[in-house]
Structure 1
Amino acid sequence: MTDVFADLVGQDEPVETLRRAAEAAARVVAGEQVAAGAMTHAWIFTGPPGSGRSVAARAFAAALECERDGVGCGVCHGCHTALGRTHADVRFVVPEGLSIGVNEMRALVLRAASAPSGGRWQVVVIEDADRLTEQAGNALLKAIEEPPPRTVFLLCAPSTHPDDISVTIRSRCRVITMRQPPAEAVAEVLTRRDGVAADVAAWAAAAAQGHVGRAKRLAADAEARGRRDAVLAVPRRLTGVGAAYDAAAALIKAADAEAAEAVAESDTTERAALEQALGAGGTGRGAAGAMRGAAGQLKDLEKRQRSRATRAKRDALDRALVDLAGFYRDVLITSLRAPVPVVHTDVASQSEAAAGKWTAESTLRRLEAVLACRDAIDQNVKPDIAVEAMMLTLWRG
């Protein structure tokens, strides 16, 4: 890669804006005067899942630290370490659980107030800023209202709606809006960057509905393809009330298994590291007493790990629901003979057969049921209840 923005797919306008800002930032570092608004201290990157919000924020952070006057060359030490998340002046907040707490945010803001060690910028990248608690948001707001001279905050959120980011924070940030990249652009990146065969890349890009990361997983991971196949088989299985409940249980069980697999290694590593730090296995004087007194820290760790597992389960379930929504969308556009391609090309015969049996109105009700299930889970409705209600609607039509 010769450019930090190379992996941003189909985002020409945002990339151009970020390039100009990085060049202005480099002039600020050099002590030059720049036009008002050419560079600002707080940014929000918005867009649908898979559009590249966090990729854009990371690329911009690298361009700000670029040692070649902010061009974002991708090869200098500043670019390389920022992209690799090891730069001393670039900090990433990536929530593993359901929220970003106030203590974490206060510590980060305090650290970000120091002068950059490399002489360029202190950069704070907050992925999933929509998960900030109200108190954490207030702590961040104070820092954005009175920013240190060389600190830049980069927030990533699905939208600027008050449910995702507070109005007061939004009013103090410059917004970069990302769009869902076209499947052709995603396929081109998979082929160029990851060496995926052109036909596989085209299928994966369409199936992932513009989500670059998901497309890469589908192209490379047989288990991910298997989980998708199981989800797309759901409509055929809905032959009655009992089958609907069985399908709901299977979907929840699959999400549980995927989430458990995703967090198992990190959970084990974290616990072992904490126990070792607390003296587990030690034979010296006081070792046993130290472990007895460590119950509170182990309990806190278990709480964080449960939160991370819950988030992983919801994420896994949401990926399944997106695939299911794509199927009903395919049925609807086939029924209406819309001049757009289907998402799931490998089950086009199945969606075509369904289009011949269902009315467009009943298909739309099914699609709305899937979307309502996603919203309900996002609003903390118990997944089992939300999925069961969805399956019954999918069966009834």
Structure 2
Amino acid sequence: MPDVFADLVGQDEAVTTLRQAAAAAALLLDRVDASEQVEQPPGATAAMTHAWIFTGPPGSGRSVAARAFAAALQCRTGTGCGACAGCHTTLSGTHADVRFVVPEGLSISVTEIRTLVLRAASTPAGGRWQAVVIEDADRLTEAAGNALLKAIEEPPPRTVFLLCTPSTHPDDISVTIRSRCRVVPLRQPPAAAVAAVLTARDGVPAELAGWAAAAAQGHVGRARRLARDAEARKRRDAVLAVPRRLTGVGACFDAASALIEAAEAEAVASVADLDAGERTALETALGAGGTGRGAAGAFRGAAGQLKELEKRQRSRATRAQRDALDRALVDLAGFYRDALTVAMGAPVPAVHTDVAELARTAGQRWTPEATLRRLEAVLACRSAIEANVKPRIAVESMMLALWRG
């Protein structure tokens, strides 16, 4: 059976660091006295500390690394064997001493962090570590970051904080939090490594795996989606057809509308079942459909809770739409990157091998400067949306820039 780090593709240095830290953490527990209390924080050892930041580009495996490390900390052997109950329950998200924050909306609130920190301060039920894994910690609000900072500055003896961010830039994580954490940098996995994983673990044919790995630009999850999901491949094809559609101002606005509508449809489809299940569960818990005395009146009084649920679901839908749109923009950036390599005569392989001829034609027709401006327009659109510019406005502006060159 593979160990907990088996899904961390192409990150040998990071895996070595995390294995050493897990071993040091296990050694620290071996020195615990009879009262089961650690006399000093985990940071007392060279390899282990109480707060970590996992950084890297999308698809590099930040959350995978954090979850695997949390499992290794709970492993009875201290190695992350993948076979014991501690490993299994952590990886499945059911371990009593491991808490995950996976933001569904645009930000992580201070209330959520305060509640989490309070629960994490308790003694581990399993006698090992309390682990707090915060995915997308760059979405912490300022108040939430301050609440987390206080907990990191004064950590409980057996609590470990694992944060995942794109980088350690102040725009992603505050400098004060960064200064109190150990950083584990992850890199974009090589396409060959991603393809090998798809073939070995998912049974994807080698040719399809190689294409999906290249098209996903090292993003393991997206490569798996492209290899398995025909609808995902159709959406990608529609995005890569955009450069051919930009024949005038009207066409630019039509292309922008099509891209936005496709992202909205994908987002609705991705959250529809979850939304329906949450609403049904809440209505049942509040007594919907009950026939007992006072049941109908009690349900009518629960309107506030239903509105709060709808608010969370709208926030999640917005996040899902932006994520879907960002995936489309990454594909589009890959096309212009391929065209730029042609324009510059760079001897590097294409990202989108199936439209390489189209990219070659574009690269030969456009000047390198014009191609670079188009690539920068796509990247600027991504940044604008991340900065909360209305997606439609940002995409329309991008389309006009792509047409003008």
After TM superposition, give the deviation of residue 72 of structure 1 in Å. Answer: 0.8
TM-score (norm 2): 0.96
Q: Matches of 1:314 and 1:37 in 2, distance apart?
A: 41
Q: Deviations over 1:146-187 (max 9, x none)?
A: 111111010000011111111111111000000111101111
Q: Matches of 2:138 and 2:369 in 1, distance apart?
A: 34
Q: Deviations over 1:62-81 (max 9, x none)?
A: 1101111x111111111111
After TM superposition, give the deviation of residue 37 of structure 1 in Å. Answer: 2.6
Q: Matches of 1:312 and 1:113 in 2, distance apart?
A: 32
Contact 2:286 2:298 (C-alpha < 8 Å) held by counterparts: yes
Contact 2:18 2:69 (C-alpha < 8 Å) held by counterparts: yes
2:394 maps to 1:382: no
Q: Matches of 2:141 and 2:294 in 1, distance apart?
A: 39
1:38 to 47, 61, 65: 47
What's the counterpart of residue 291 of structure 2? Answer: 283
1:47 to 41, 56, 62: 56
2:312 to 277, 293, 304: 304
2:192 maps to 1:184: yes
Which consecutive aligned stretches of 4+ in structure 1 deviate over 3 angstroms post-superposition? 32-36
After TM superposition, give the deviation of residue 104 of structure 1 in Å. Answer: 1.1
2:255 to 222, 233, 247: 247
Q: Matches of 1:177 and 1:193 in 2, distance apart?
A: 25
Q: Matches of 1:246 and 1:95 in 2, distance apart?
A: 32
Contact 2:103 2:136 (C-alpha < 8 Å) held by counterparts: yes
Question: 1:151-300 residue pairs with structure 2 within 5 A?
Answer: 151-300=159-308
2:328 to 320, 331, 342: 320
2:25 maps to 1:25: yes
> What amino acid is the match of 1:331?
A
SS at match of 2:172: coil
SS at match of 2:148: helix
2:123 to 115, 120, 144: 115
Q: Matches of 1:218 and 1:63 in 2, distance apart?
A: 30
What's the counterpart of residue 36 of structure 2? Answer: none
SS at match of 2:48: coil
> What amino acid is the match of 1:314?
R
Moved more, 103-112 or 285-294: 285-294
What's the counterpart of residue 368 of structure 1? Answer: 376
SS at match of 1:313: helix
Gaps of at least 5 residues in structure 2 are 33-39
SS at match of 2:125: coil
> What amino acid is the match of 1:239?
T
Contact 2:24 2:45 (C-alpha < 8 Å) held by counterparts: no
> What amino acid is the match of 2:30?
A
After TM superposition, give the deviation of residue 7 of structure 1 in Å. Answer: 1.1
2:69 to 36, 60, 72: 60
CA RMSD after TM alignment:
1.1
SS at match of 2:52: strand
After TM superposition, give the deviation of residue 220 of structure 1 in Å. Answer: 0.4
> What amino acid is the match of 1:182?
P
Contact 2:98 2:130 (C-alpha < 8 Å) held by counterparts: yes
Seq. identity, %: 79
Q: Matches of 1:119 and 1:221 in 2, distance apart?
A: 42
How many residues align? The count is 396
SS at match of 2:16: helix
SS at match of 1:45: strand
2:147 maps to 1:139: yes
After TM superposition, give the deviation of residue 228 of structure 1 in Å. Answer: 0.2
Q: Matches of 1:182 and 1:157 in 2, distance apart?
A: 20
Moved more, 157-166 or 246-255: 157-166
TM-score (norm 1): 0.98
> What amino acid is the match of 1:327?
F
Q: Matches of 1:100 and 1:36 in 2, distance apart?
A: 31
Q: Matches of 2:385 and 2:401 in 1, distance apart?
A: 16
After TM superposition, give the deviation of residue 36 of structure 1 in Å. Answer: 3.4
What's the counterpart of residue 138 of structure 2? Answer: 130
2:82 to 74, 82, 107: 74
Q: Matches of 2:373 and 2:165 in 1, distance apart?
A: 29
Contact 2:135 2:164 (C-alpha < 8 Å) held by counterparts: yes
Q: Matches of 2:243 and 2:47 in 1, distance apart?
A: 52
Q: Matches of 1:341 and 1:152 in 2, distance apart?
A: 42
After TM superposition, give the deviation of residue 199 of structure 1 in Å. Answer: 0.7
Moved more, 285-294 or 323-332: 285-294
